[in-house]
Structure 1
Amino acid sequence: MERAKYRHPLHPALVAVPIGAWIASIVFDVASHVVADGRFLAEGSRWLIGLGVLGALAAASVGFVDLFAIPTGTRAFRVALVHMTLNLTATVMYAIGFAIRGDQPTAPVPAGPLVLSVTALAALSAAGYLGGELAYRYGVRVADDETRVTGFSKKEDS
């Protein structure tokens, strides 16, 4: 019997950077409304957003390669396309948020950039749920080929 070929799933490891950075940025945004002079928090939030965008681009490049491991025409492939679209949308929203904050962010963080970040985080959360579906339900990049094929071809996926 041939040994199953497992590959290290890099995408789930890389997504920790943008998720962590973007969640921390919202904490900084809110905290900029609580302290007397929150400019340092607004500045930190902007750089966390930038770090998250760079991390998301790295995660997306590996995730895009993972997409090719999923047979087209399956429910898992459709879920992966929605997952990718939501993640790219969130990344673009954060990139816009980074740009509109300018080189010298004001404190407290204005409502517009804050709402944009919260909306982007909601899209990211939905994408994360679908990413969990891909990994835990369909075994994308974590299960052996036979298990994945069985998972992809279940009757309920039609």
Structure 2
Amino acid sequence: MPDQLDFDRGKRPRTVLQGWYGHPFHPVLITVPIGAWVASLVFDVLAIFAEDPSGFLLGAQVLIAIGIVGAVLAAVVGVLDYSVIPARSKAKRMGLLHGVLNSVALVVFAIGWFVRSNAGHDEVSVAAVVISLVGIALVGVSGFLGGELAYHFGIRVAAEKDQAEGVAQR
């Protein structure tokens, strides 16, 4: 079982790529793929009601590509954050599941991008929309786990002592 010193080490970055103490980059970077993928779904819905859906469908495909690039960058930093979680802890197991779900979501969106490429931009592809919905669901579950890692386990969050000192200062 990891001791408190292991968990305190887990709050500190190993490299500047992770951000600095108490300010991890991973939570900032994940906003890119999540925002792009949710926006792509909004474009799909707009395309359903548009007289000419081609612009919305092309936009959705571009947003998915942006999300894929952003997800790869977030994954690199996420792996670095994962590396500081104490071994054989519940947080380590949850972090692994979080990473696996995000990796599956990334593959799902990549498949969706290829489906959209082959379908063209003349009409809405039901398969592409369903694939995006599956990807969004995976990201939602994984995001819940990521929130647990940060807010419940305090992974890469400043130590409680430092938080208390900051709140107490006037």
TM-score calculated relative to the size of structure 1: 0.85
Stretches of structure 1 that go unaligned for 5 or more consecutive residues are 148-158
Q: Deviations over 1:98-126 (max 9, x none)?
A: 11211773243211011000001000000
Which residue does 2:30 correspond to in 1?
15
Query: Structure 2: any 5+ residue segments left out of the alignment?
Result: 1-10, 13-20, 163-170
Please list the CA deviations of residues 76-116 of structure 1 after superposition, one character each: whole Å capped at 9, or x if unmatched: 01110110011010011101111121177324321101100
Q: Please report the RMSD computed on the Cα atoms of aligned residues, expressed in angstroms.
A: 2.0
Q: 2:59 & 2:120 partners in 1: Cα distance?
A: 9
Q: Which residue of 1 aligns with 2:78?
A: 63
Structure 2 residue aligned with 1:38: 53
Rate the CA distance shift 1:145–1:65 in 2: closer, same or farther, 3 A: farther
Correspondences of 1:1-158 after superposition (within 5 Å) = 6-102=21-117, 105-144=120-159
Taking a change above 3 Å as real, the CA distance of residues 141 and 61 of structure 1, as seen in their structure-2 partners, is same
CA distance in 1, matches of 2:30, 2:23: 14
Is this contact kept in 2: 1:71–1:77, CA < 8 A? yes
The number of residues matched between the two structures is 144
Find the aligned partners of 2:130 and 2:26 in 1 and give their Cα distance.
Answer: 28
The 1:41/1:119 distance shift into structure 2, 3 A limit, reads same
Q: Residue 44 and residue 103 in structure 1: after superposition, are their counterparts in 2 closer, same or farther (change >3 A)?
A: farther
4+ long deviations beyond 3 Å: none
What one-letter code is carried by the residue in structure 1 that aligns with 2:44? Answer: D
**Percent of paired sites with the same residue:** 42
Matched position secondary structure for 1:21: helix
Distance 2:66 2:104 in 1: 16
How far apart in 2 are the matches of 1:129 and 1:38?
A: 33
Q: Does the CA contact (< 8 Å) of 1:29 and 1:108 recur in 2?
A: no
Q: Structure 1 residues 138 and 146, CA, compared in 2 at 3 Å: closer, same or farther?
A: farther
Distance, in Å, in 1 between the alignment partners of 2:108 and 2:130 is 11
